[in-house]
Structure formats: structure tokens, C-alpha cells
Amino acid sequence: MKNCIVAQSGGPTAVINASAIGVLDANIISNYYDNVYAGINGIQGILNKHIVNLSNIPHDEVKGLKYTPSSGLGSCRYKLKPSEENTEEYIKLFEILEEYEIKTFFYIGGNDSQDTVHKFSVYAKQHNKDVKFIGIPKTIDNDLPIMDHTPGFGSAAKLIATSVLENFLDASVYPAKGVFILETMGRDTGWLAASACVATINGKPAADFIYLPEVAFDTEKFLKDIKQKLTEKNHVFVVVSEGIRTKEGKFLGELEGTGLDKFGHAQLGGVCANLKNLILTTGTAEKVRVLELSTIQRCSMHCASQTDIDEAYEVGKAAANYSIEGISGYMIGIKRLSNSPYKAEPFALEASKVANNIKYFPEEWINKEGNNVTREAYEYTLPLIIGEPKITIENGLPKYTFLEEAFNL
């Protein structure tokens, strides 16, 4: 018996399930594995033996996950320690994998998940374990190095740009001068905030200013930017990343007294509210509206990019096909072949080169004033948001797939 298992980790995306279905569908074609199992709630669930056999569920009941947002297999935020610090955890995992006769473990996730792939593959090699580990990328943050972009980013970018367009129009209806601030996710990098650049009205950018974590935030310069723009027009539209910080490295949106999350990251929130108070208390403007997009950026299948869905599906299929070659400790990336017409393809790279590394927004794509992005950012982002999702509508709403048997264990 030769089986495989697929699991998801970290924050969801609108297209993460397409990668899982890609693994399943590729195996239906190759018939290489006897069973495709799912680890419910990532590595944490597998360690608790929360495992479902996807091959035993009729495909018609599962295939809808391709057009369902969030993590259909559940998720977790589980920091795996090095094997020398917690040997028992590694022993337990491999005992479970052996029990289920699993030969390949597919882990769909971001930076920390690829670190898990690397650690397990090294342990397996050191201890002569016949299990292969392959990573599949996902993150709306688009911050995984080496690859051109990550599945999930295109759909988040499309939602952000759409929100900018619609709120720009809404904010423009009153004659009184005002400021609208839209906050995106992006703790370390500005890819998400920068994606707002594709939102245009009559050929002109909807956002007047875009502030990224890659540029130290100067409150005095920010207020000067706003004040100057208000002399030119009645309404100023600002897009800001949650990760902006001062030159001293302090996050503007860091919540006081909340400490760190499980991965040692400062918990953020409320950058737009912070900036609103700054504008009002300094008298820079009398009216300020704010919108923190929050989790809608990662779960909006109704506004997803079909290009993103297709690519997420293809990296899942590629992972399954690469596994037949016996690789381990690798992950699947996306390589852009051309921009116009847009073409891309999946490729394999070592997970260790991605784990614990960050791809920052290019400095050369930020304008010299540090308050917006260049044409290169527009040309990079635009192809990734193309195409509308082929979702099924029922009673006026999207019809999504929820695997009840997976979560009622």
C-alpha cells in the first residue's frame, strides 16, 4: 500500500483549496497513490490523528473545494521545534505516517510551513525513514522568495483593488474635503498595499498615496503629503499596509499590551484608526473615513482571480507529479515566463531556500518620495488578477463546499 497525505497550515487564502484538489486530481490521473488522505488542522491535527481519506469521499462531493475559500481541510499555527529539542514529536509523527502507510506528505502553507517541510525531510533522511515531504506555497502576502508570486496573492490583490475603486467612488460624492484611508494586511512586506495601484478611474490611479513597510513611516511627511494634496483636490485616498513602522522599527499598528503570537510576531491592528486620529488631532482635515479590510482579503472567492485559482490548482498537480520522481525537501514555485501575453509555469525548488526568508517589495518599484509605487508594480500585478471565478450560485449566493465528515470526527 502506498498512500499520501495533504494538509494546510497558516492563514487561509481564497484559493488554498484549489491546491489540495490539484493533488487529488493529479493522483486520479496517475493512480500513483492508493489513497489520498487529508490531515485536518495541519500538522497539529495529524499528530492528534485527525485524518480523513479523501479517496473514500465521492469526487462530486469534494471537487467544489476548488471554488471554496478558506482552508477546507482546516488549519493551524504550529511552530515545529528542531528535532533535537523535541524528538518525541518527530517520532510520533512518523509512527502515525507509518500506520497509515503514507509515503508522501504534501504541506500547503507559507514560510513557516516550508520550514516544517524542510525539518521533516532532514529528519527522515537522517533516520532512514521512507517518507517524502513536499511543500506547496500559499500566502496572500506574496513574500516567499525565489518564486515570482504565490497562490493567494492575485485574488487578494483583486479584492483590494476592487475595494479601492468602490470606496473611492463612495468617498467622492460629498463636496466637503475629506480623507479616506484603506488598510491592507502585510506585516513585513508591502505587496498587498502596492497592489492597489491597479485600481484606476478614467486611466488615473484611484489611490493618491500608498505607504509600505519597506519605507520608514514619517508622520510629519505623511501629514505634509495629505495637506498638500488637499490643496489640489477635495478628496484624498490613502492605502496603507498594516506593517508600516517608524525609522526606529516600531509598528504604528502594534496593539499595546497584547504581546506576541505563537511565532513571535507582534500582534497588529488599527493602523488606519491611528492615522485617522493623527489627521484629526493635528487639524490636517476635518473628515476622515477608514476601512480595515482584515480577513476579507483572504476569503473572498466571489472576487477571486481565475488566474490565481488555476495557478493554485496547477501547483498542487505539479507537487503530486513531482512526488513520483521521489523528491523530498522541495516545494513548488511559480515562474513567470512572459508578461504580455502572461505565461507562467510551476517549478521545484528546495524548501530550505524559502523557509525563514522574506521577499520584500522591490525598492526600485517605490517612488522617490516613498509614498507610492511605480509603473513596474502595476505591470507586475495586473496579469495576476485577471479572470472571474467560475463559482456556482444558489439562491443568489455562492455555493461552497464544507466537508462535514472532516470536522465532525
Residue numbers annotated as active site: 141
**Burial class (CB within 10 angstroms; exposed 0-12, middle 13-18, buried 19+) of 88:** exposed
Is residue 141 within 8 Å of 153, Cβ to Cβ? Answer: yes
Q: Is residue 267 pLDDT above 60, yes or no?
A: no
Instruction: Please give the pLDDT value at position 270.
Output: 80
Span 179-229, pLDDT tens digits = 999 999 999 999 999 999 999 999 999 999 999 999 999 999 999 999 999
Q: pLDDT higher for 117 or 253?
A: 117
SS3 sequence, the chain?
Answer: CCEEEEEECCCCCCCHHHHHHHHHHHHHHHCCCCEEEEECCHHHHHHCCCEEEHHHCCHHHHHHHHHCCCCCCCCCCCCCCCCCCCHHHHHHHHHHHHHCCEEEEEEEECHHHHHHHHHHHHHHHHCCCCCEEEEEECCCCCCCCCCCCCCCHHHHHHHHHHHHHHHHHHHCCCCCCEEEEEEECCCCCCHHHHHHHHCEECCEECCCEEECCCCCCCHHHHHHHHHHHHCCCCEEEEEEECCCECCCCCECCECCCCCECCCCCECECCHHHHHHHHHHHCCCCCCEEEEECCCHHHHCHHHCCHHHHHHHHHHHHHHHHHHCCCCCCEEEEEEEEEECCEEEEEEEEEHHHCCCCCCCCCHHHECCCCCCECHHHHHHHHHHHCCCCCCCEECCEECCCCCHHHHCC
- Quote the mean pLDDT of the chain: 93
Instruction: Please give the pLDDT value at position 406.
Output: 64
Q: Topology of 153-299 in CATH? A: Rossmann fold (3.40.50)
Residue 85 phi/psi, 5-degree rounding, is: -95, -25
Position 178: which residue type?
Answer: G
Span 215-229, pLDDT tens digits = 999 999 999 999 999
Q: Is residue 86 pLDDT above 90, yes or no?
A: no
Mean pLDDT within 136-154: 98
Confidence of residue 261 (pLDDT cuts 50, 70, 90): very low
| Domain 3-139+303-356+387-407 identical in fold to domain 153-299 | yes
* Strand 330-339, strand 102-109: pairing: unpaired
Instruction: Please give the pLDDT value at position 263.
Output: 47
CA of 29: how far to CAs of 63, 220, 269, 310, 376, in Å? 14, 60, 45, 17, 39
**Burial class (CB within 10 angstroms; exposed 0-12, middle 13-18, buried 19+) of 327:** middle
Q: Is residue 75 pLDDT above 80, yes or no?
A: yes
Instruction: Please give the pLDDT value at position 407.
Output: 67
Q: pLDDT higher for 382 or 80?
A: 382
Domains of the chain: which residue ranges? 3-139+303-356+387-407, 153-299
Span 330-381, pLDDT tens digits = 999 999 999 999 999 999 999 999 998 999 999 999 999 999 999 999 999 9
Span 305-316, pLDDT tens digits = 999 999 999 999
Beta-bridge partners for 104: 4, 132
Class of 3-139+303-356+387-407 in CATH: alpha beta
Q: What percentage of the chain carries pLDDT values higher than 90?
A: 88
Q: Could you tell me which residues come within 8 angstroms of residue 69 by beta carbon, excluding any fewer than 6 positions away?
A: 12, 13, 14, 15, 17, 298, 299, 300, 301, 304, 400
Mean pLDDT within 160-169: 98
Position 72: which residue type?
Answer: G
Instruction: Please give the pLDDT value at position 405.
Output: 64
Q: Is residue 52 pLDDT above 80, yes or no?
A: yes
Residue indicated by cell numbers 482635515: 285
Instruction: Please give the pLDDT value at position 335.
Output: 98
Q: Angle CA(218)–CA(248)–CA(113) in degrees, nearest 5?
A: 105
Instruction: Please give the pLDDT value at position 85.
Output: 84
Q: Angle CA(183)–CA(335)–CA(105) in degrees, nearest 5?
A: 85
Confidence of residue 255 (pLDDT cuts 50, 70, 90): very low
CA torsion sign, 200 to 204 to 205 to 208? negative
